[in-house]
Amino acid sequence: MKRNLTFDKEKAYHKTKLLLKIYRDVIWSVEDRVAELESEYYEMGSNSLVEALDYLDDYDPNINKKELEEELCSIFKSKFLIEIVEKALFKVKKYPDYGEIYFEIIYKQYIQKNKYPEKYIIQVLNCERTTFYKRKKEAIKIMGVALWGYVLPELKGVWVH
């Protein structure tokens, strides 16, 4: 309860809006890099990334293990952040009032690989332009509360222990 009293919803809104603006580029570059790594290791004769890493660790004296470790660590951190955003997004979807609409707006506007134009989203949602912008702002606010007010604090407890 104390957490909710000190939670700055306006600050969460602005941080969430900034995060969503860059999210698509981050998620798809990470996904592309993982696919690229898997392809490289498949060419080495491995059926999976794990097998390739085991091979590199055990048999390839030319591999710079520190560089490989840093790259994989960066990818796994990015994947973890993607999972955090997805978890918050599904909390938004479950929101009792307009949750499905909020989810659709955020997903189509910021998450999906191909960004939909606002005109298309307005048409799909079958709403007025002013209603769309109102719902979009509400969606980002709810996403901010879900992300900064619930998902991250829950994980903070996991990270500390």
- Amino acid identity at 137: K
Residue 24 belongs to some domain of the structure: yes
Residue 117 belongs to some domain of the structure: yes
Residue 2 belongs to some domain of the structure: no
What's the pLDDT tens digit per position in 91-127?
A: 999 999 999 999 999 999 999 888 889 999 999 999 9
Q: Is residue 22 within 8 Å of 151, Cβ to Cβ?
A: no
Residue 1 belongs to some domain of the structure: no
Task: Give the pLDDT score at 160.
Answer: 45
Helix (H) or strand (E) holding 87: helix 65-93
Residue 136 belongs to some domain of the structure: yes
- Which pTM value belongs to this model? 0.74
What residues contact residue 48 under an 8 Å CB cut-off, 6+ apart? 38, 41
Cα pseudo-dihedral 64, 66, 71, 74, rounded to 10: 180
Q: Which residue segment(s) compose the domain that 12 sits in?
A: 8-160
Count of domains in the chain? Answer: 1
Residue 35 belongs to some domain of the structure: yes
Whole-number Å distance between alpha carbons of 120 and 126: 10
Residue 3 belongs to some domain of the structure: no
Q: Is residue 28 within 8 Å of 70, Cβ to Cβ?
A: no
